[in-house]
Chain A
C-alpha cells in the first residue's frame, strides 16, 4: 500500500498542479489540461488506436526484437574473440557515436519511406547499447565458471547457452533496458520525417493543423505508452533475473 502511494504520489501532485495552473489559461498553445483530457477521449478512439498506434507499436516491436537478436549474437561473438574485438571495437565506437536521427534521411534514400525504413532506423539506434553491454557482459564472465564448464566437458553451443548467456544476462538486460527507451524515441522520430500513419505522424499533423489540445493528448499518450512498456520490461526482468537480485541481496547482507 505504502509503495503504491510512493509510486503514484508525485505523478498525482504534478498532474493536479498542471490542472490547477492551466485551468484559466488563455494561451492558445498551452490550453487548460481539462480541454486536453476532453480531447484525449475524443481523439484516441479505437479506430485511431488501430490506424495509428498499432502500426507504431508493430514497427517498434519489430525493430527492437531485431536489434536485440543482432546485438546479443554479435556481442557474444565479439566478447568471446579477442581478435575480433580488437578489429571491430574502434569501428563500433564510431558508429555508436553517430546520433541515429541523423541517419533517417540517409536511410530514407535507399530504404524508401515505408515500414522498412522505420524499422532500420530503430534497429540502428537500439543495437549499440545491446551490443556493447553484451560484449562487456561476456568478457566479464567469471573465470572459475568458465573453468568449471570446461572441466565438465560443457563446450560448444551448450557453453554459450548454459553458461555464457546466463552469466552475462544482467549486463545484457541493462543494455536492453537502455535500448527500449531509444527505440521509442526513434519510433516517433522516424514517423515525424515521413509517414502516412503512426503516433509521431499524427502528433505532427495535429501540430501543423493547430489542433493543439489533440497534439498535447498525443504527447500524454506517448508518455503513458513509454511508462507502460518500461513497467512491462521491469516485470519481465524481475522474472528473468530473479537469481541475480537474490544473489546480490545475499552478498550485500553478509
Chain B
C-alpha cells in the first residue's frame, strides 16, 4: 500500500522559490491500479520522483507498505518515460534485466529464472543477447517493464511510460500492463497525461490540479475488469468517465489561468 500524505515540494533557485507540489494526499491500496492525470507541467514527475525516493520532499509523508520512504525502497520498481536513456546501452537485454537482481544478491540460478520469466511475460523471449538499441522503441519499453517485473516489486511506478511510442504500440503496451497487473497482483501507480489511457487502465483515476499541485478530484472507474481496446473504449460508461476527467482537468487549467 502506498500512502501519500500532505506532500509538499518547493524548488529553490537562488532567492526564488517555486512551489511545485502544494499539498497532495492520496492512497493506493495493495494490488490496486491507480492512474494519475494532470495538465502538463503539473508536477507529475516531481511527485513520482519523490515517491521513488529520488527526490526529497519539502514536507509531508510518503509511506510504502507501512514504512516511510526516505530513499529508494527495495519493494518499489520504476519504469521511466525515456526508455532509451533508462536502459543501459552497453549491456545486453539480459544484463539490463539482471543487474538490479545482482544488486539484490540473488543466486545465479534464481536470477536466470526471473530474467527468463520476465522477458517471456512481456513477449520478448529470444532477444536476451541483443542490445536494447537494436530493438524498436516499443520493445525497448518492454525490456524496461521486464526489468521492473523481474525485480519482484510490491509497487510499480510508471512515469508516462508510453508517451514516446506510436499509437498502435501504445495500445499493445497498455494491454500488457493490465495483463501483468492482473497476473502479478502488484500495486501500480501509473502517471500519464493521456485521459483516455488513464480511464482505460485504471481502477481509479486521481486528477491533479495545475502547479502548485493539489488533488483536484478522484473517480472510481467502474468498468468491467476484462477490458479490451475495441469494446471498452466504445462503452458509453467509458465516454462518461472520460468526459468527467476531461472536464476536471479543464477546470484545473482554468482556475490556474484566473
* CB 8 Å contact bits of A134-151 with B (1 = contact, 0 = none): 000000001011011011
CB-based contact B133/A151 at 8 Å: no
In residues 40-57 of chain B, which contact A (Cβ within 8 Å)?
49, 52-54
CB-based contact B89/A152 at 8 Å: no
CB distance from B159 to the nearest CB of A (A): 10
The answer, yes or no, to whether A74 is at the interface (CB within 8 Å) is: no
CB-based contact B134/A151 at 8 Å: no
CB-based contact A152/B85 at 8 Å: no
Contacts of A18 in B (CB 8 A): none
Q: Which of A38-46, A120-128, A243-251 contacts B (4 or more CB under 8 A)?
A: A243-251
In residues 29-60 of chain A, which contact B (Cβ within 8 Å)?
none
Q: Given contacts A147-B54, A147-B80, are A154 and B99 in contact (CB under 8 A)?
A: yes
The answer, yes or no, to whether B181 is at the interface (CB within 8 Å) is: no
CB-based contact B72/A150 at 8 Å: yes
CB-based contact B72/A144 at 8 Å: no
Q: Which of A142, A144, A163, A250 contacts B133 (CB 8 A)?
A: A250
Contacts of B212 in A (CB 8 A): none
CB-based contact B86/A145 at 8 Å: yes
CB-based contact A153/B133 at 8 Å: no
CB-based contact A246/B133 at 8 Å: yes
Contacts of B138 in A (CB 8 A): none
The answer, yes or no, to whether A169 is at the interface (CB within 8 Å) is: yes
CB-based contact A243/B77 at 8 Å: no
Contacts of B91 in A (CB 8 A): 166, 243
The answer, yes or no, to whether A93 is at the interface (CB within 8 Å) is: no
Q: Which of B80, B134, B147 contacts A246 (CB 8 A)?
A: B134
CB-based contact A144/B103 at 8 Å: no
In residues 128-182 of chain A, which contact B (Cβ within 8 Å)?
142, 144-145, 147-148, 150-154, 158, 162-163, 166-167, 169
Which secondary structure dominates where chain A touches chain B? Answer: helix
The answer, yes or no, to whether B131 is at the interface (CB within 8 Å) is: yes
Q: Which of A145, A147, A151 contacts B77 (CB 8 A)?
A: A151
Contacts of A158 in B (CB 8 A): 102-103
CB-based contact B90/A169 at 8 Å: yes
State in angstroms the CA–CA spacing of A167 and B91 once bound together. Answer: 11
Contacts of A169 in B (CB 8 A): 90
Residue of A nearest to B74 (CB): A153
Residue of B77, B82, B103, B104 with most partner-chain A CB within 10 A: B103
Q: Given contacts A145-B85, A147-B80, A151-B78, are A247 and B133 in contact (CB under 8 A)?
A: yes
Q: Which of A152, A167, A250 contacts B103 (CB 8 A)?
A: A152
In residues 196-254 of chain A, which contact B (Cβ within 8 Å)?
243-244, 246-247, 250-251
Residue of A152, A167, A243 with most partner-chain B CB within 10 A: A152
CB-based contact B80/A153 at 8 Å: no
Contacts of A148 in B (CB 8 A): 78, 80, 86, 88
State in angstroms the CA–CA spacing of A235 and B38 once bound together. Answer: 51
CB-based contact A144/B134 at 8 Å: no
CB-based contact A247/B89 at 8 Å: yes
CB-based contact B88/A250 at 8 Å: no
Residue of B54, B72, B78 with most partner-chain A CB within 10 A: B72
CB-based contact B103/A153 at 8 Å: yes
State in angstroms the CA–CA spacing of A34 and B147 once bound together. Answer: 65
CB-based contact A163/B54 at 8 Å: no
Residue of A151, A153, A169 with most partner-chain B CB within 10 A: A151
CB-based contact B104/A247 at 8 Å: no
State in angstroms the CA–CA spacing of A145 and B91 once bound together. Answer: 13
CB distance from A93 to the nearest CB of B (A): 28
Contacts of A251 in B (CB 8 A): 133
State in angstroms the CA–CA spacing of A163 and B99 once bound together. Answer: 10
Residue of A nearest to B92 (CB): A243
Contacts of B82 in A (CB 8 A): 144
CB-based contact A151/B90 at 8 Å: no
- Could you show 8 A-B contacts with beta carbons less than 8 Å apart? A145-B88, A147-B86, A148-B86, A151-B77, A152-B99, A152-B103, A162-B88, A243-B133
Other A-B pairs, 4, CB within 8 Å; known A151-B52, A152-B151 = A151-B53, A154-B99, A162-B88, A243-B133
Going nearest first, the 8 A-B pairs with the smallest beta carbon separation are: A152-B100, A144-B85, A166-B90, A243-B90, A151-B78, A247-B133, A148-B86, A247-B89
